[in-house]
Amino acid sequence: MQQLLSPRSIAIVGASENPKRVGGVALDHLIDFGFAGNVYPVNPKYTAIQGLHCYPDIESLPEAPDVVVLSVSADSVLPMLQRSHAKGIRAAVVYSSGFAEEGQAGAKLQQELTDFSRSSGMLVCGPNCMGLANLNTRAITAFATLFKDYPPRHRDGHVGLITQSGNVCIVLYAAGSERGVKFNHFINTGNEACLEFSQYLDFLAEDPDTHAVAGYIEGLRDGENFIRVAARFRAADKPMILMKAGESERGSLAAMSHTASLAGDRMINRAAFLQLGIMQARDPQQLADLAYLVGFKPRHAGRRVAVASISGAMGALLTDLLVGGGLDVPAIEVSSQRAIKEQVPGIGMVSNPVDMTAQIYNRDGVAAAVFKALASSDKIDVVLVYATGYLLERIADELIEASRQSGRLFVAIDTGRASCREALEQAGIPVFTDIARASAALAIYLEWHARRKGANRWFALRLKSCATSDRDTSLLRLDEAQTKTLLGSYGVPVCKEIVARGPEDAAQAAEALGMPAVLKILSPDIAHKTEVGGVRLHLNSVEAVSNAHGEVLAHVAQAVPGADLRGTLVQKMEAGVCELIVGVTRDPLFGLAMTVGLGGVMTEVFRDVSHRLLPVDESIAKDMLHELRGFRLMDGFRGKPRADIAAACKAIAAVSNAAMGLNATLQELEINPLLVKADGEGVVALDALLIPKP
C-alpha cells in the first residue's frame, strides 16, 4: 500500500499536454505543486510534455516506478496492467470507467481485473476512481482540479480523507479546506475491484502522519475486517469520522421475527458506529466541523458543558441546542456560583449558563474569574464561550490562559469577525462561527469521548469471545420447546412447560403446572403464533385446556396448510413487572446484532429499542436497558415494584452467549417476551424462536 499512497516515482499512461484533460490534470499537479520524485509521462503522441520527456510505451521507462496511473479505455486496462506488471511495477491507479457500474459486460471486465490482481499481487486502486493524493509529499495521482482552488500549501496535514465517491471526495475536501482542516491523504476508492475501503483504512491506522480519518461510504464488503480496523483506530486513539449513505430498511422486508423488523439496516449501522468508536456525520459541513474539532486534543472531555455567554438570550439558546443534542448543561456548585458573584458583583445568571453581561465591557478580569470557576467545577467537562467579534478579542487572553491552566476543553463561538481566531486555535481552542453547527459537532464529539472506554472494553470482550459455533443447528428445525431447552443450556432462565400430543396430555399438563394455563401451538414452521390463532390464554380449568388443544390444532391446520404440527405447549400463566423483547439477527455486514426493547406498545408502536453488535455482557446489557425511553417503567415508576434489572442483564448476556455459540448456523434468535419479575425474583423466557441460516 505504501507504493500507492506514498509513491516516490509515478508513471502516467495516457498523459496529456492539456492540463484540463483527465490525463493531464495529475501531471500538471505533480509539476505545479513540486513533487520531488520522478514523473514519467507515457504517450506515443508526444516526445515531451511540460518540459518532461514523454515515453512511447511502458517498456521504455528507465525504471519501474512505484505506481502507474492508467488514463486509458476500459478494454485497454487489463493489457496495460499486465505490461506494467511485467515491467516490475507493483501498484496502479485506474481512472477508467466502463466496468461493473455499466452492466454485465463491464462486470466481466472488472472480474478479469480482480482475478489478475489476485494472481499477480499487484495493488490496483479503482477502476472508475478519481485517484489518490499524498498532500504532504505532493504525490498527486488524482485528476481533481479542485487542488487549484484549495492547494496543499502545508506539509503537516494529519487528516486522511477517504471516500467511495469521487464527487463526494471533492465536496468533503472543499468543505474541510474551508474549515481549516489539514488533509494529508485524498483517497477515492472507486469500484474497489481489488482493494476495498477497509484496506486503505488499515494503512492509515498504521501511518504515523495520519492522526484522524474522515470519509464517506455507501457500502462495505467485509464487516469483520472493518471491525478489526476500527479496533486498531481505537487502540491508536485516532478518531474516525464517516458519512454513511444508502441506509435503508431492506433487511426487514423478509423478517420472520419481530426483532428483524425492529433492527433495520439503518439502526444497526448507527449502533455499530457508536459501538466501534466512529463518529457519524450527517452532511459534509458537519463532517468538516468534526474533522476540524478532532485536531484539538483535550486532556479531559465529557458530556457536561458549561456555557459562558455575553448574552443571556444566546446562552439560553445554546443551552437548548446542547441539551437537545444529548449533552448535559448542569448547574454548577453553589460554592462556585458564590465565588463568581464575590469576584464579579452585579453579574447576571451564574448557575449555568453564565451570563457575563456588560461587565466585560467595564471591568478587567471578569471573564478570567468566570472561566476559572467553571473550569474548576467538578460538574463540568467542557467550557463553551460565546462572544462577538471585538468582545471575543477583549477576553481572548483570559480565555487562552484559562485553557492553558485547565485540563478542560474550551471552545469559542464568534459570530463576529474577531482577529484573535488564529491565536485561539494555536492555543488549542477551537473556534466556531455558528451556534447550531458548534452545538451539533460538540454533541457528536463529546459523545465519542464519553464512549471511548466502552468501545475499548467491547473490543477486548470480542477478542475473548468465541465467534465460532459450538452447536450445529443447521440441520434442525427447532420448535419452541426445543429452542428453550437449547437456551436453557446456555443459562437463559426458561419457564416450566409440558409438550402435549393430545387433549388428555394437555389437561394433565395444566393440572401438574397449575392454573391459569397458557396453551400454544408447537411447530417449527410458525413464527408468529397469535397471528394464526395458535395461542390461548387464561385457561382456568382442565376442560378449557383440553378443548383448547383441539381447537388450536384445527385452527392452525386450516390457517397454515402443510405446517409441521407437533402438538401443543402448555405453560402456567406468569406475572411480572414488565416484559422485554430480546432478539438477535444477522446483519449482512456486521454479523450478529442484538435488539432489546420493552415489550408491548413501547416496542411495536414507539420502536423503543436499543441495539448492539455481539457479544453483549451484563454491563452492556445494563447500558442497553438504560437507553430505553421506557426504562422508568422498570425502575419503580409511580410506586410500582422495581424490576429485577440485574437478572434481566444476566439473561440478556446469556442470550448473547447462546447466539455466539450458534454463530455459524444462526440467522435469528428471539425471546419475546422475557418476563421480568420484581427485584430479587428473577426473569423467565416465556416464548422463544430460533431460525437457522438458510
Asked whether the bond before 127 is cis by omega within 30 degrees of 0, the reply is yes
Residue 599 has pLDDT above 90, yes or no: no
Cα gap 270→517, rounded to integer Å: 42
Interval 416-427: pLDDT, tens = 999 999 999 999
pLDDT at 252: 39
Predicted TM-score of the model (pTM): 0.89
Residue 380 has pLDDT above 80, yes or no: yes
117, 193 Cβ separation under 8 angstroms: yes
Residue 607 has pLDDT above 90, yes or no: no
Interval 119-164: pLDDT, tens = 999 999 999 999 999 999 999 999 999 999 999 978 899 999 999 9
Interval 295-321: pLDDT, tens = 997 767 789 999 999 888 999 999 999
371-387 burial: b if 16+ Cβ within 10 Å, else e: bbbbbbbeebbbbbbbb
586 contacts: CB under 8 Å, gap ≥ 6:
592, 593, 666, 667, 668, 693
| Residue among 174, 175, 173 nearest 188 (CA) | 173
C-beta atoms surrounding 200 within 10 Å:
25
| Residue among 169, 231, 165 nearest 198 (CA) | 231
247, 220 Cβ separation under 8 angstroms: no
Percent of the chain with pLDDT over 90: 77
Cα gap 684→143, rounded to integer Å: 62
Cell numbers for 612? 448492539
Quote the distance between the C-alpha of residue 598 and its chain's center: 24
The amino acid at residue 206 is E
Cα gap 689→488, rounded to integer Å: 13
C-beta atoms surrounding 334 within 10 Å:
10
- Identify the bridge partners of residue 685 per DSSP, sorted by sequence position: 494, 674
SS3 content of the chain, % helix, strand, coil (to 5): 40, 20, 35
- Which helix or strand (DSSP H or E) is residue 542 part of? helix 542-559
Higher pLDDT, 366 or 108: 108
Interval 639-673: pLDDT, tens = 889 999 999 999 999 999 999 999 989 999 999 99
Pairing of strands 683-685, 354-355: unpaired
- What is the layout of strands, in order, in the sheet containing 212-217? 139-140, 131-134, 183-188, 159-163, 212-217, 240-244, 278-280
| Residue among 19, 13, 96 nearest 54 (CA) | 13
